[in-house]
Amino acid sequence: MYSKTEVTQLRQAFWTTFGQYMQPVPSAEGGPVNWINYKTGLKHVYFRLHADVKRATIGIELTHPDAGVRELFFEQFRELRLMLEEAQGEAWTWEADVPDANGQIISRIYRELQPVNLFSRDDWPRLISFFKPRLVALDEFWSNAQYAFDALR
């Protein structure tokens, strides 16, 4: 088992390493991008990367507190499902209303890798190989798809 300090240090070390690995990769539009804290430009729409002792996930989270508005965003993403899956080259999991880690109801579209352990440096290459192509493809998808949300801004 890891101490709280070790957990914090390993988590920070992984995300720093991943950020440094991704730093030279330009966005789909050719500019620099903060891959770890990706800005979608839409309030309550986030691209999330997560890893723990069991699994890793990459996904789109819709966190609008109004269920009706969140549903509109989710439906708009459903309209773009084929575009997303073509960019990714794989099917993703779609969940309309699920609780997040804090109990807030969100909608999410994601891909998961398991078993993998963030705290095992031996798993870091698998994690990076999982996150990188999907994050780059998500950026490519978003560079075109974001305009479909103009009416919902």
Q: Which residue has the higher pLDDT, 149 or 131?
A: 131
Burial of 31 (0-12, 13-18, 19+ CB in 10 A): exposed
* Residue 151: predicted pLDDT: 80
Q: Which residue has the higher pLDDT, 152 or 39?
A: 39
pLDDT at residue 87 is higher than 80: yes
pLDDT at residue 150 is higher than 80: yes
Contact between residue 134 and residue 88 where contact means Cβ atoms under 8 Å apart: yes
The CATH number of the structural domain formed by 4-24+34-152 is 3.30.1460
Q: pTM of the entire structure?
A: 0.93
Residue ranges of domains in the chain: 4-24+34-152
Q: What is the mean pLDDT of residues 88-108?
A: 96
Cα separation, 14 vs 96, in Å, equals 30
Is residue 124 left, alpha or beta, with left meaning phi > 0 and alpha meaning psi from -120 to 50? alpha
pLDDT at residue 96 is higher than 80: yes
List, as own/partner pairs, every contact residues 41-50 make where C-beta atoms lie below 8 angstroms and the sequence separation is at least 24, other chains included: 41/146, 42/146, 42/149, 42/152, 42/153, 44/69, 44/70, 44/73, 45/73, 45/149, 47/135, 47/138, 47/142, 48/108, 48/110, 49/131, 49/135
Banded model confidence at residue 3, pLDDT cuts 50, 70, 90: confident
* Residue 153: predicted pLDDT: 72
Contact between residue 88 and residue 140 where contact means Cβ atoms under 8 Å apart: no
Q: If DSSP codes are grouped into helix, strand and coil, which group holds residue 137?
A: helix
Cα separation, 132 vs 127, in Å, equals 8
pLDDT at residue 146 is higher than 80: yes
